[in-house]
Amino acid sequence: MKTFNHPWQIILWAVLMLLLRLSLQVEAVQAARPKQQADQIGSDIIGLASDSLDCLTTDLSGQASGEVHLTWQGQPTRARLIINIAGSEAAHTIKVNGETIAQTPIQPHGHACGEGESFYLEIPPSVAVQGENTIEITDDALPGDIWSAAEIRIEVLGPIT
């Protein structure tokens, strides 16, 4: 059994044991890290976003639309609509370039064209086109529900530039 003659020896021994234990834990965490994370670091996957459409608000007509501009080179493998929703009381239809791509997440809180909740809605990459992309929101699930979408963008991802 080890005996200590001075208090500093006890402290030094405790510090060394703590450092040894921490180094073993770090090695265990590194070994448990998913391989996919390491593979993605050197990948050629890039995301490009369109310009932002400030705000769309449904009105008495029950719909609103606007355009965002996006250009890229290459073939996107994924796409998504990034949208900030406020005041939606029902799951209304959202269209991109005339194609229904999603139903709005119900988000009754927030302020029109401002503070709301941001959502990333996956869309088929084929829906996004080079140049102008039309975004349309509706009140079809609950007529008269006036809600807004703000900071609307389309993002394409893949081996693109």
Domain boundaries, the chain: 7-33, 46-158
Nearest 5 degrees, angle CA 70-CA 75-CA 80? Answer: 55
More confident residue, 68 or 113: 68
Pick one of 3.30.9.10, 2.60.120.1200, 2.40.50.100, 1.10.1060.10 as the CATH number of 46-158: 2.60.120.1200
Q: In what order do the strands lie in the sheet with 99-103?
A: 63-70, 131-138, 93-96, 99-103
Q: Quick check: 144 pLDDT over 70?
A: yes
> With a threshold of 0.85, does the pTM exceed it?
no
- State residue 18's pLDDT score: 65
Closest listed residue to residue 99, CA positions, set 64, 127, 62, 138? 127
